[in-house]
Chains A and B, each alone.
Chain A
Amino acid sequence: MELFANLAHGFVVAFSPINLLMCLIGALVGTLVGVLPGIGTIATVAMLLPITFGLPPVGALIMLAGIYYGAQYGGSTTSILVNIPGEATSVVTAIDGHQMAKQGRAGPALAIAAIGSFFAGCVATVLIAVLGAPLTKLALAFGPAEYFSLMVLGLIFAVVLAKGSVLKAIAMIVFGLLLSMVGSDIETGASRMAFNIPELADGLGFATVAMGVFGFAEIIRNLDAGAEMNRDLVQQKITGLMPTRKDLIDSTPPILRGTVLGSILGILPGGGAVIASFAAYTLEKKIAKNPSRFGRGAIEGVAAPESANNAAAQTSFIPLLTLGIPPNAVMALMVGAMTIHGIVPGPQVMQKQPDLVWGMIASMWIGNLMLIIINLPLVGIWVRLLRVPYRLMFPSIVIFCAIGIYSVNNAPVDVILAGVFGLVGYWLIKHDFEPAPLLLGMVLGPLMEENLRRALLISRGDWSVFLTRPLSAVLLAIAAFLLVLTVLPALRAKRDEVFTESEN
């Protein structure tokens, strides 16, 4: 079996002491930063990107993957203990998780979140290994037209899954595409929209924009509300981490359902962890015998979204590793990290660098295992960290982000740009524009433009090429269908319902 041989090879790589250490450090640091309220996964990964620069490629990516899961796990810890979701994926976890914590069951809530995540992680790891090879073959059948259509589909997914107005989400994507075009043109080398500023000649750094829009903007917005932010931190000591037998029985089916849902949504380009957790929570509430328990500390309300978001977080590596398309902003940062180490993600990576790919896949599983082992005993430390008042926390975050951005290119201009994008992000928040589609547009922009140009060059300027090539036509048809569905009033109401669920 090739599959097991590959996985075994991966585990050999991942179990080397140095890589184990990288994984451990990544998971720990990721959790540490993820626990801080107001810093989501994207900002965490962007902030910690520079610390992996000095490492060998395999170690660096393993560490980044660890940071990613750690940040996600840290986010759920905050939402259960303080009711401030550290990030969007754990918004729904906060609803029931925090209620459980108030009833003195913080321990089981955290444990179930960890167990659910771990289980989902195991399934997703196998899924990546299983789907990796066939999808890579599929990728070889992809020409520029297909790539372009697939990315359109991904962007449409992002629109469908974004919160709020469809029009605004599309506008954000196009804005992101425009931002991605700043800098040198790939084909002619002409400088575009750079205003003769030498630092802009290379384009806007993705990490810079991400840090501005997700890091600085969030800080400024939190300051708006007054630094004291109502934090009802669970004060009593957390005792009895282990869930009861009943808890385990109750949460097994939700974990299974959440895992399936999350795995599917994660693979779709533009999908990702946020929508997976929302969808899983809604599903649980729909099929529950007694839906009124939700919002009052139902353990299913913790188990399902946590497994779903972790499954999605992991399966979102699939499009990246096989097609070279980053399905969400975090993956885009991963692409950035890979490029720094001279790796171009895509179908060829699987063949050329099996160490890297399979090592990373295996380390995902190890990382999840580590999280469950380390984090439960460390909950006390995270709680203490959460007691640090925001008035001291936010200047520290500002400084840390600034140093982080500076160290990416040793360029002071990047820091200023991140600041500017912080203001842009603040403005976006004030006008109810979602920043996530903007980032996705920015990520896919260069790839989309390149493939569009190439496709049209091959077809000698004939736009119908996107419809006459069957694979591309199918992808575009799905995209159009989805868009129509979203605009239909009946479905819109449903979609809004899913998102408002979290707000009460």
Chain B
Amino acid sequence: MADTMGHSATATRNTSVALGFCLLAIAPQIFEFIWSIGTIFGWGAGRGPAAVVIGHATALVAGAPGALIGAIGGDTKKTSSDVLLALIYSYPLFAVAIVTLFMTIRSAQDYVGGVILMALALFALWASSDLQGMRGFSFGAGTAPRMFGGLLVALSAGIALTGLLAEGPALQHYSWRGPLFVMVAILFFALAIRPLGLVVSAFVSFMIAATGSHETRWLEAAIVGACLTLGCAVLFPYVLGLPMPMFPRFLVQ
């Protein structure tokens, strides 16, 4: 009884891991889609969301097999980067996800770590796929990235394999509160330093970061934040002579 239960638990976990990998396999496409929403409001350049969805969908479903057949048929027409992304990045990861379903994962820490690292390597391979390769015996811009990218794919496959073959630690617990608020604080600081200046952005970021711990006492944090802001406002621009906007732009003008 216990055995079967244990087995079904592994099965469900494997399914969720495989689903995670599928999501990872189309992560760049999703990211580009989210990014492209901005173009509606006129931020940034690039394709609109509709074009992104259609481009990637056709590449994932039809484009890649088509290119494959074309390659076999000796068609040397240049494949689009969407198709390349599907071929180089998404398909191998989908394959890994399917394989995952039938495997017993002995060390989730190594297996998942290895696969994510492999995803990064495959992504790097795709990113350097448009660069020039060897010209005679001289390296092109793309030779070294492709070389090390390929090496990293092999190494991370090795790591994933150890996760299947050898017993090891399970996945460690990730918490969300600390990372989230610290990242939001950093992001806010980056976006606010130019328009709002050091004083405002440092203080607000301090308070956002402080939210990352459940032990924060607000009054205390506000006082320390204010002192720190004051200290930084004196230290960086005046003592160290680093140019930095101090106050919000609309107040200065």
Contacts and interface: CB of A to CB of B under 8 A. Distances in A.
B43 interface: no
Interface in A389-412: 389-392, 394-396, 398-400, 402-403, 406-407, 410, 412
Contacts of A433: 113, 117
A430 B116 CA distance: 12
Interface string A175-201: 101100100010110101101000000
B141 A394 contact: no
Given A171-B159, A407-B236, A399 B139 contact: no
Contacts of A178: 121, 124, 145, 148-149, 152
Contacts of A51: 240
Given A399-B205, A403-B236, A426-B179, A188 B158 contact: no
B210 A219 contact: no
Nearest to B186: A419
Contacts of B228: 396, 399-400
B182 A412 contact: no
Interface stretch (B10-18, B55-63, B71-79, B168-176): B168-176
Contacts of A456: 137-139
Given A167-B159, A178-B124, A223-B178, A216 B210 contact: no
Contacts of B185: 395, 398-399, 402
B225 interface: yes
A423 B145 contact: no
Contacts of B189: 399, 402-403, 406, 415
In this complex, the member of A395, A432, A452 whose beta carbon has the largest number of chain B beta carbons within 10 angstroms is A395
Given A174-B152, A193-B145, A430 B174 contact: yes
Contacts of A220: 178-179, 182
B232 A413 contact: no
B151 interface: yes
A193 B127 contact: yes
A195 B126 CA distance: 11
Interface string B212-242: 1111110011001100100010001000111
B152 to A, nearest CB: 5
B83 interface: no
A423 B228 CA distance: 25
Contact of B128 (A177, A193, A460): A193
A399 B202 contact: yes
Interface stretch (B1-9, B91-99, B190-198): B190-198
B152 A171 contact: yes
A50 B239 CA distance: 12
A392 B220 contact: yes
A432 B109 contact: yes
A503 interface: no
Given A50-B242, A412-B194, A432 B169 contact: yes
A400 B232 contact: yes
Contact of A174 (B110, B140, B151, B212): B151
Contacts of B244: 403, 406-407, 410
Given A392-B221, A403-B202, A171 B155 contact: yes
A402 B148 CA distance: 31
Nearest to B209: A395
A453 B135 CA distance: 12
Given A190-B131, A398-B185, A175 B117 contact: yes
B144 interface: yes
A25 B101 CA distance: 59
23 contacts: A167-B155, A168-B159, A170-B155, A177-B148, A178-B148, A178-B149, A181-B148, A187-B141, A188-B140, A192-B131, A192-B145, A391-B217, A392-B210, A395-B221, A395-B225, A399-B228, A400-B228, A402-B186, A402-B190, A403-B236, A423-B183, A426-B179, A430-B109
Interface of B: 109-110, 112-113, 116-117, 120-121, 124, 127-128, 131-132, 136-142, 144-145, 148-149, 151-152, 155-156, 158-159, 162, 169, 171-175, 177-179, 182-183, 185-187, 189-191, 193-194, 198, 202, 205-207, 209-210, 212-217, 220-221, 224-225, 228, 232, 236, 240-244
Given A193-B124, A402-B189, A432-B110, 11 more contacts: A171-B152, A175-B117, A178-B124, A181-B144, A181-B145, A223-B177, A398-B209, A400-B228, A402-B186, A403-B198, A461-B138
The 6 closest A-B pairs by CB, nearest first: A461-B137, A223-B178, A431-B113, A419-B186, A395-B209, A190-B141
